[in-house]
Chain A
Amino acid sequence: MILIDNVRKTYNTRLGRRTILDGVNLRLERGRNVGILGRNGAGKSTLIRILAGAEQPTAGRIHRGMSVSWPLAFGGAFQPHLTGLDNLKFVCRIYGVDYRTKVDFVEDFTELGVYFKEPVAHYSMGMSTRLAFALSMAVEFDCFLIDETMAVGDSRFHERCHNELFVKRKDRAFILVSHDANEIRRHCESACVLHQGKLHPFPTIDEAYAFYETATL
């Protein structure tokens, strides 16, 4: 179970403290999933960073009773001088996975060919995206954090990501944040709306969508 308990996050700005998350609560059981709808700047990415553990909440706490991924397909931790293989080894070492058991999968999924052993700096956007996604799949997390990543790449890539994540790993929990209600409707069984620092839960996605369309404009 993942529990977000009254989490607040404020940032210092030139105009004083700005509250991004103002007492957010959420509970997610193993194997379940939730979509979080929010406009640009609503605090979706902040919430994801806090869930991933990259930032600490100003107040409140997060309980993680299962392993939580880094934001899916997040490529920001790539080091441009390292090769795709180096990055795979690094991630596997961090999480205590034997990288040799993952090389075939990553090579196959990314279709990098000889570039797998070239520095990431030489990769095209598409190659980096494929590598980032494959690395996220190399570690078997209980819960995946997804930050609108499915929006990039071509349709074939979408389909393969979909297959890896929502078909092969359909027993896992995930939290998907997006500003696109259709995205959430397609993948999630329940939805919340993040608006003015509060997280509003809804029993159905339609109700969440109705609120999203009216209240947040």
Chain B
Amino acid sequence: MKRLAMEPAPGSFLKSLRVQWRVIQALMMREVITRYGRENLGVLWLIAEPALFTLGVSALWTAAGLNHGSSLPIVAFAITGYSSVLMWRNTASRCNSALIHNFNLLFHRNVQVIDVFITRIMLELAGTTASFTLLSLFFISINVISPPIDLLQVIGGWLMLAWFGAALGMVLGAATAYSELVDRIWHPTSYLLFPLSGAAFMVEWLPQRGQDVVLLLPMVHGVEMVREGFFGDAVRTHYDASYMALCCLLLTLVGLLLVRDAGRRVEPP
């Protein structure tokens, strides 16, 4: 019978990479079926779920007039804002519960802790990105919002938010292997961070002191970048891409260190 060569020769980086990619694909398919099943929309819920959230919030904000009398189109304001929140909040929350739900998968030699996180991060980012894109396209096509002034800028800001979400997810996900407290504390924290995250306001609207405080939060810079791309000169934005990149870099580093160590710490739930 044909045997498997599952332990790649040491140093065979490409081979390991291939195994890892295969494992991540398998995990993604499993995750999607597990989460959404095969009934009704199935995998499309990955996009529909964030889209429904965003639509609901957009409707609420429109009703509440959250653009504060500025000339900004409220629908575009809500979509850019709320989609940005989903980028970091959902990714982090999904990673938080990843180890508890997937411990048993670690019985398969090829499945490592980091694969579990990468899977959830990729799915979450893909779903939110698709929902953001589709909603934007839809509202542009029916002339409710106008196309972004600078698409590249939108993509740039979006990628920064994705990086932030992925790094935050890894840090929080791996930290749950150290203490259950992480999960408990993350819920109130994410709730409190939401109003500060720049989703529901432009930094420009705040007094100087408020601006200084809010700009300490990395995701605020990402939202500002996306909105500058969307609205162009209609808004005055405040951001520092290098500051955000530095924060993401640090988080990524901490995340990778924690993930490596989480592999040694993780115990059966």
Give the B interface residue count (CB, 8 A).
Answer: 31
In the assembled complex, the Cα of A82 lies from the Cα of B26 at a distance in Å of 13
A135-148 vs B, Cβ < 8 Å mask (1 yes, 0 no): 00001111000000
In the assembled complex, the Cα of A89 lies from the Cα of B264 at a distance in Å of 28
In the bound complex, do residue A95 and residue B30 qualify as a contact, i.e. CB atoms below 8 Å apart? no
Interface size class of A (residues with CB under 8 A): 20 to 34
| A-B interface contact total, Cβ < 8 Å | 87
In the assembled complex, the Cα of A74 lies from the Cα of B19 at a distance in Å of 22
Main secondary structure of the interface of A (DSSP, over half): loop
Given contacts A56-B263, A86-B33, whether A95 and B107 have CB atoms under 8 Å apart is: no
B-facing residues in A33-75 (Cβ within 8 Å) = 49, 52-56, 58, 64-68, 70-71, 74
Q: Is B1 positioned at the interface, with any CB of A under 8 Å from its CB?
A: yes
Chain B residue at minimum C-beta to C-beta distance from A58: B264
In the bound complex, do residue B4 and residue A96 qualify as a contact, i.e. CB atoms below 8 Å apart? yes
In the bound complex, do residue B111 and residue A49 qualify as a contact, i.e. CB atoms below 8 Å apart? no
A78-116 vs B, Cβ < 8 Å mask (1 yes, 0 no): 010110001001110111110000000000000000000
Question: Which residues on the A side are within 8 Å of B153 (C-beta)?
Answer: none
Given contacts A94-B26, A140-B2, whether A76 and B34 have CB atoms under 8 Å apart is: no
Question: Which residues on the A side are within 8 Å of B108 (C-beta)?
Answer: 53, 70, 77, 91, 94-95
Question: Which residues on the A side are within 8 Å of B264 (C-beta)?
Answer: 56, 58
In the assembled complex, the Cα of A141 lies from the Cα of B6 at a distance in Å of 9
The minimal Cβ–Cβ distance linking B35 to chain A, given in whole angstroms, is 9
Question: Which residues on the B side are within 8 Å of A64 (C-beta)?
Answer: 7, 109
In the assembled complex, the Cα of A16 lies from the Cα of B110 at a distance in Å of 32
In the assembled complex, the Cα of A10 lies from the Cα of B106 at a distance in Å of 19
